[in-house]
Chain A
Amino acid sequence: QKEVEQNSGPLSVPEGAIASLNCTYSDRGSQSFFWYRQYSGKSPELIMSIYSNGDKEDGRFTAQLNKASQYVSLLIRDSQPSDSATYLCAVRLYNFNKFYFGSGTKLNVKP
């Protein structure tokens, strides 16, 4: 079983819609959760970090964390074609230096 699971997609949404990206993790000792965006041929870019249960909003992005269900999601409101990329979910375990990345979900926002 992988530490972090993501649906590979592609997830296709029309411009202006809400894109919902999901991630599950296996280790209940996970403490910190991150969403990265990676454009093709580029390195990942940090979008959001979330550490406690609930929602965290930053502009058009909302991260949601449910530790009981071991589930973290990213909502992108008013999706734009420029949001088309692969979104990586990352989890930090209680071991300070141990991070795990999911395989990523490819998002396509159609004009």
Chain B
Amino acid sequence: GAVVSQHPSWVICKSGTSVKIECRSLDFQATTMFWYRQFPKQSLMLMATSNEGSKATYEQGVEKDKFLINHASLTLSTLTVTSAHPEDSSFYICSARWGLAGGSTSYEQYFGPGTRLTVT
């Protein structure tokens, strides 16, 4: 259980274009999803937290107009990197935490396999 998928697993795009990354919880409802970025040999950096049906909460220093997050359903969140530049090249990882309509929630985060973005 608690499987999270991401698509695509890797993507190469040209500078100035936009890229959309999907994160899906396959066998549970994810009331909260998190988006992280990880540069080589560095730790995870939380970019934003998204709750289903509401606006994402961005961490300090993360441009919300550049990294658009949509959490339209309990199983899907998307991250769109707009007008990508080479410095946006990184490993983007989502995680999800399950929750039930009655209010029960797990504190554990389950990570997707990640998306490696290369901007040329």
Interface status of A97 (Cβ within 8 A of chain B) = yes
CA distance A92 to B105 in the complex (A): 14
Q: How far is the CB of A9 from chain B (nearest CB, A)?
A: 12
Interface status of A78 (Cβ within 8 A of chain B) = no
From B32, B105, B107, name the one whose CB has the most chain A CB atoms within 10 angstroms: B107
Given contacts A97-B32, A97-B49, A99-B34, A88 and B44 within 8 Å (CB-CB): yes
Q: Mark B51-75, 1 if CB is under 8 A from A, else 0.
A: 1000001000000000000000000
Q: How far is the CB of B67 from chain A (nearest CB, A)?
A: 17
CA distance A4 to B111 in the complex (A): 19
Judge whether B111 and A43 touch: CB under 8 Å. Answer: yes
Number of A-B contacts (CB under 8 A): 41
Across-interface contacts of A104 in B (CB, < 8 A): 43
Q: Mark A78-111, 1 if CB is under 8 A from B, else 0.
A: 0000000000101010001101011110000000
Across-interface contacts of B43 in A (CB, < 8 A): 88, 101-104
- How many of chain A's residues touch chain B, expressed as a range? 20 to 34
Q: Mark A7-51, 1 if CB is under 8 A from B, else 0.
A: 000000000000000000000000010101000001111100101
Q: How far is the CB of B43 from chain A (nearest CB, A)?
A: 4
Q: How far is the CB of B49 from chain A (nearest CB, A)?
A: 5
* In the complex, chain B residues 17-35 whose Cβ is within 8 Å of any chain A Cβ: 32, 34
Across-interface contacts of A101 in B (CB, < 8 A): 43-44, 46
Across-interface contacts of B113 in A (CB, < 8 A): 42-43
A-B residue pairs, 9 tightest by C-beta: A103-B43, A43-B114, A43-B111, A32-B107, A43-B93, A101-B44, A44-B111, A97-B49, A43-B113
Contact surface of B with A, Cβ cutoff 8 Å: 32, 34, 42-44, 46, 49, 51, 57, 93, 105, 107-114
List 22 interface pairs A-B (beta carbons < 8 Å), by A numbering: A32-B107, A34-B108, A36-B111, A42-B114, A43-B111, A43-B112, A43-B114, A45-B111, A46-B108, A46-B109, A46-B110, A46-B111, A49-B107, A49-B108, A51-B107, A90-B109, A97-B32, A97-B57, A99-B34, A101-B43, A101-B46, A102-B43
